[in-house]
Amino acid sequence: MSVWFCIPSARPAEEAERVLKLWRERGYKIALFVDWNPPGVPLYSRKSRGDLMLCGGGQYAPKYDAKPTNGPLELRGPLDPGGRQYYPHFNEYPGYAQAVNALIVEVMKEDPQAEWFVTGGDDVEPDLNHTAEEIARQCSERFANLNWPARGTPLSRSSPTFGVMQPTGDRFAGGSIDRICGSPWMGREFCRRMYGGRGPFWPEYTHCFGDEEMFEVTKAMGVLWQRPDLIHLHRHFQRESDALDSDAVKRDIPEHLIEANSQAHWAKYKAIFTERKRLGFPGHQPIP
């Protein structure tokens, strides 16, 4: 069994590595979706790279004319010793939902033992008091015999990995984590089957509201486990302190998050979420 931390990352390696190191130390493997970098300016050295990387977008991204495929296009050229790099058919960053979905697809191809996937961001820390294996075992035990009413489908099939677990011990910003799946644990069967086999996230969301849709859908299906005893500390740029009940304070937005935190972005994706919720989140139904 293995557990993978799968995230897009736009930070330089020296900034992201402090958080990634914490995940590695507790037994997680790491899959990253990163922008292609200018020649001679590596974002991740071999020492700090993930166990699997997907690249897409950026000014220096190689452009392929090949038709889209069900899988990634292998990056031509030398590979780091002991590692592999992939280049999917994204010529630009596709947004958070599709990036995470793509990472999970590739990990499932590469690692048949991968049972749980965690996402969030390069500013989210793992629970420091438990290993990946301990939490994964607890999640599998929780969902193994769960009878869940799959909304909108006749399916009613339990699985140790058909479920989502969200740690809620970090009470940042008034406990906003209670209404989203901001750093969820997602089981292999959940990822394989949800949204008609497309992945765990509705692909239309590029930054905001994908986590809120996951919360709404999994709660309605009866496959959401919220755990206040586990902490994924979110070192959000607006976090006032390290206290678990830290307030959010106004601060300058990091450059790579300016568009995603704009009023226009928020309004656009809130409208998408609101309409999808009104319609019962069409397309979320799992495949057998």
pLDDT by residue (tens digit) across 69-103?
Answer: 333 333 333 333 344 444 444 667 788 998 899 88
**Does position 18 have pLDDT exceeding 80, yes or no?**
yes
pLDDT bracket for residue 147 (50, 70, 90): low
Q: Which residue has the tokens 């070192």?
A: 235
Fold held by 2-278: Spore Coat Polysaccharide Biosynthesis Protein SpsA; Chain A (3.90.550)
| DSSP symbol at 197 | H
In sequence order, what are the beta bridge partners of 97?
none
pLDDT tens per residue, range 152-200 = 444 545 689 999 999 999 999 999 999 999 999 999 999 999 999 999 9
pLDDT tens per residue, range 220-259 = 999 999 999 999 999 988 999 999 999 999 888 888 788 8
Is beta strand 29-34 parallel, antiparallel or unpaired with respect to 164-167?
unpaired
